Amino acid sequence: MMRNKIQGAFFLMAVFALVAAPLANADDRDDVEAVINQYIDSEGFDLTEQTKLMAGDRTYISAGMIYSNNEKSMALQTAGNKVITTANPDVQRIATIEDLKIRLNGNAAVASFYRTINDTNSVENVRAGQNAMITIYQTATMVLFKVNDEWKIVHTHLSPTK
């Protein structure tokens, strides 16, 4: 009798584990997707909010260069953004992602997606015959680790799509 109760308890625990595992995975997937969406939504010219989404030791690869010091990488991006906003004070940036794919393995996630950055051009350039939008198409890979129950970006790789 006692043996049947113990076996029944183990059976119930196994069933609960099988049911709970995909739910935890689904929560993690939603959390990872939320971090990536926050990253894209913070793709303006002030990267303060975006920096909070990253691990301090994030690796960044873009334009054929690798930056293993995240603090300097963000400083370079901020300096580049300052040049853009100085040259075109009315510039606006809108970033979007398409075809997001997320793969989870424990406390690690790998995501890939297409990223499009649209900057408005200056009035002078448009009058000179340039397009109103300056568009950059990129294929992105991002790796995130769960650190202290929070997903952080540890690696970003951007390659030109077109």
Q: Is the pLDDT of residue 74 over 80?
A: yes
- Averaged over 107-134, what is the pLDDT? 94
Helical segments of the chain, H only: 2-41, 48-51, 70-87, 123-127
Q: Is the pLDDT of residue 41 over 90?
A: yes
- What is the pLDDT, as a whole number, of residue 57? 94
- Averaged over 44-55, what is the pLDDT? 90
Sketch out the chain's domains with CATH numbers.
Answer: 2-160 (3.10.450.50)
What mean pLDDT, rounded, does the chain reach? 87
Rounded Cα distance, 5 and 86, in Å: 73
- What is the pLDDT, as a whole number, of residue 21? 46
Indicate the burial class of 132 (C-beta count within 10 angstroms; 0-12, 13-18, 19 or more).
exposed
Comparing 16 with 75, the larger pLDDT belongs to: 75
Confidence band for 23, pLDDT divided at 50, 70 and 90: very low
Confidence band for 50, pLDDT divided at 50, 70 and 90: very high
Q: b/e map of 94-107 (b: 16 or more CB within 10 Å)?
A: ebebeebebebeee
pLDDT-above-90 percentage for the chain: 65
State the pTM of this model. 0.79
**Phi/psi at 116 (5° precision):** -120, 130
Q: Is the pLDDT of residue 84 over 80?
A: yes
Confidence band for 19, pLDDT divided at 50, 70 and 90: very low
- Averaged over 130-143, what is the pLDDT? 95
For residue 59, how many other CB atoms are within 10 A of its CB?
Answer: 17
SS3 content of the chain, % helix, strand, coil (to 5): 40, 40, 20
Rounded Cα distance, 93 and 42, in Å: 10
For residue 115, how many other CB atoms are within 10 A of its CB?
Answer: 22
Dig out the tokens for 130 from the structure. 């340039």
